[in-house]
Structure 1
């Protein structure tokens, strides 16, 4: 699908796709969403550029993601999607600056793209060309990543309280550690994808800041602001990653403590009932010459010995604080 937008009266307005060939020079933003091969070839022929294929967009070499050809700037980085689900995803998105045009190639629905036409109407900045829209999108993507980190931080804090604090009479044995482990895995998955986006965004901003497309007042100011925001976000993401690792270790430690408590109960029970078992075994032997065998108090004495032999180890463990 091809969508074209032009800047008119400080607003971004969509151009009729049926007649876009005649108005291509007016287009400021050309959005290729899940483009077919025919649509890619059409734009390439009209603008005389080479659009990267989907496979080329996923190459991880820096030279394949950030490069410049004949004053046309190509940038590709990974964006995080499905952030509000348990299965967030990462998808490569390409931005091409060609003269006054911004060309975007994407194969997934991304929030900043959908919000762009509406949000730009409320902005008072002077948007003149595709680089202006690109600068605004970078700010919007940075804000989205900051929101993701904030949500992860709140979720981590809630999980931390659930692990370490027993609230409303809930004991450690009643905490659902399986659910907590699943939640920690979800946080880490989303955080790692967000970090990948932050690293890619940092490289893109550093690369395009030195190009002629961002020499305008708004473009320069916007890109410098984004450049300042990214390092603190990366540091915060690293902090959150360390905290998630700590919570994972703590959760596994709590599980081990709970398992050890269960094993301790069985161990104490085995030790407590071992002496009575020994006494019962001794008097259970069928030898003829056993003094207590025909004694009228033999049976009560055996019972008393078994009770005492079980009670004394129990009191000893209790005194030592092992129970």
Structure 2
């Protein structure tokens, strides 16, 4: 099979109890990232397990994501993988067999890299159970960091949406203001999408923590049990925090939409006043444009100025009435 630890695009990393590289027989953790078929076959043969396919890990039923088979705990969760600025959900498998852990993933994930580095620097793990707990803790920590960044993004968007208008500043243009608010709505929408991904991830981790506490054989030590309980409490806190952010997202979307509607209504109101104020002078011009022979105003020396004055007056009166009603 060749070297068991390779720095390539596909990695099979084997971690032993001493925290360093080891052979497959002594490994407490085999981490497969975009594994090759030969690596999958070797791990299955030496560990005596059946690794789930990517399609199986993508199943959404709880019974498919969490199951026990002959003492092996087979678990899966959608985790956020590095993919540009936003990240994407990628199915990830955890197989806990006695005190050995096998993880299967198809993207690079920072949480796994951090646990690798911690173990290789000398923070040794005593078994697969502890490695699993460390992974869950690190994933929850990163979920909290992502939600904090989302909260900062929403705070920035909120300040931009609810900012006070500048009294002495340049007059707002409808097109420019609408584009600004639409851009803010896009930012809020992306933040909301990120929240949904984080929520999917930490809720799946919470189910794994409960499943391990209930089904793990041999039973996990009290110290690890307390850490898993702490993971569950952290998830409850994250769930409450995410719910508050969801309400804030809805508020910002509604506010931005309302402000765009207000700006558009102001334009419609001005157009309505202009159209109403333009009806009387058009009527006057139409009357005096008929040129009937018996129209007395046609022979007046001041008939033309009189028509102009009548048209101007009929324009001003509706505008003043709108101002008096405070509609303008």
1:1-323 matches, within 5 Å, as 1-8=11-18, 12-15=19-22, 23-82=23-82, 85=85, 87-120=86-119, 127-166=125-164, 169=169, 173=174, 174-175=176-177, 176-210=180-214, 211-212=216-217, 215-323=220-328
CA shift in 2, pair 1:275/1:48, >3 Å: same
Instruction: Measure the CA separation in 2 of the matches of 1:164 and 1:153.
Output: 16
Instruction: Measure the CA separation in 2 of the matches of 1:212 and 1:95.
Output: 15
C-alpha distance after superposition, 1:40-90 (max 9, x if no partner): 1221111111110111010111111111111111110111234772x4311
Instruction: Measure the CA separation in 2 of the matches of 1:278 and 1:105.
Output: 81
Structure 1 unaligned regions, length at least 5? 16-22
Q: How far off is 1:213 after superposition? A: 5.1
Q: TM-score, normalised by structure 1?
A: 0.91
Question: Does the 8 Å CA contact 2:206/2:235 hold for their aligned counterparts?
Answer: yes
Question: Does the 8 Å CA contact 2:17/2:126 hold for their aligned counterparts?
Answer: yes
Deviating 4+ runs (over 4 angstroms):
121-124, 167-174
Instruction: Measure the CA separation in 2 of the matches of 1:83 and 1:312.
Output: 64
Higher mean alpha-carbon deviation, 113-122 vs 192-201, is at 113-122
Instruction: Measure the CA separation in 2 of the matches of 1:212 and 1:307.
Output: 93
SS at match of 1:104: strand
Structure 2 unaligned regions, length at least 5? 1-10
Question: Does the 8 Å CA contact 2:25/2:46 hold for their aligned counterparts?
Answer: no
Say what the alpha-carbon RMSD is for the aligned residues.
1.9
Number of residue pairs matched by the alignment: 311
Q: How far off is 1:123 after superposition? A: 7.8
Q: TM-score, normalised by structure 2?
A: 0.89
Q: How far off is 1:286 after superposition? A: 2.4
Question: Does the 8 Å CA contact 2:284/2:310 hold for their aligned counterparts?
Answer: yes
CA shift in 2, pair 1:234/1:90, >3 Å: same
Question: Does the 8 Å CA contact 1:102/1:134 hold for their aligned counterparts?
Answer: yes
